[in-house]
């Protein structure tokens, strides 16, 4: 596996504007979480990453974690980014292989936004785990980018 964390991405992340509008059915919290994650993930686009036009949104209760399956291709590089609706919350995101083993990735955490970068050597299923680290309920939005 390869790790990567272009520092330009971090700097670009700070300069990004507000995110696009969401569907009418989304709650205010979901819109805020989506905006938070786009502030971060949008920066990867500047480094040639394509943002997958799909996300997973939900609410984490204290002590709970989300685990979602993804299918990755060897040779591609991926960033998984998560944001929450409340800036006072703190969130983390990790990646596991198909046996459930934690993978070494490039982690990035900034309070209610986090990302992890990974370039798989093997194609197949992987698992993304999103956890709130302060024990505060939070609405989150998870998405990924690839190149």
93-122 residues in contact with another protein (CB under 8 A) are 93-94, 96, 98, 100-102, 106-111, 114, 116, 122
CB of 93 to another protein, least distance (A): 8
Q: Is beta strand 106-110 parallel, antiparallel or unpaired with respect to 50-51?
A: unpaired
Query: How open is the CA angle 91-92-95, to the nearest 5 degrees?
Result: 150
Looking from the CA of 6 toward its CB, the CA atoms found within 13 Å total 15
Residue 53 makes contact with another protein by CB under 8 A? yes
Q: Of 7-15, 27-35, 81-89, which segment contacts another protein by CB under 8 A? A: 7-15
Residue 91: closest CA among 52, 128, 54, 118: 128
Of the candidate spans 31-39, 52-60, 81-89, the one that interacts with another protein by CB under 8 A turns out to be 52-60
Q: Min. distance of Cβ 46 from another protein in angstroms?
A: 12
Cβ-Cβ contacts under 8 Å for 11 (sequence gap 6 or more): none
Q: Does 2 bind another protein (CB under 8 A)?
A: yes
């Amino acid at each position: 596996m390869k790790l990567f964390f272009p520092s330009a991405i971090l700097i670009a992340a700070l300069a990004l504007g507000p995110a696009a509008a969401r569907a009418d059915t989304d709650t205010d919290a979901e819109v805020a979480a989506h905006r938070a994650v786009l502030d971060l993930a949008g920066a990867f686009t500047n480094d040639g990453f394509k943002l997958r036009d799909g996300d997973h949104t939900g609410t984490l209760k204290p002590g709970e974690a989300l685990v979602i399956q993804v299918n990755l291709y060897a040779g591609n590089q991926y960033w998984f980014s998560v944001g929450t609706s409340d800036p006072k919350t703190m969130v983390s995101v990790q990646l596991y292989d198909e046996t459930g083993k934690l993978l070494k990735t490039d982690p990035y955490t900034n309070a209610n936004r986090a990302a992890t970068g990974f370039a798989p050597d093997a194609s197949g299923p992987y698992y993304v785990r999103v956890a709130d680290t302060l024990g505060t309920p939070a609405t989150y939005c998870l998405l990924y980018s690839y190149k």
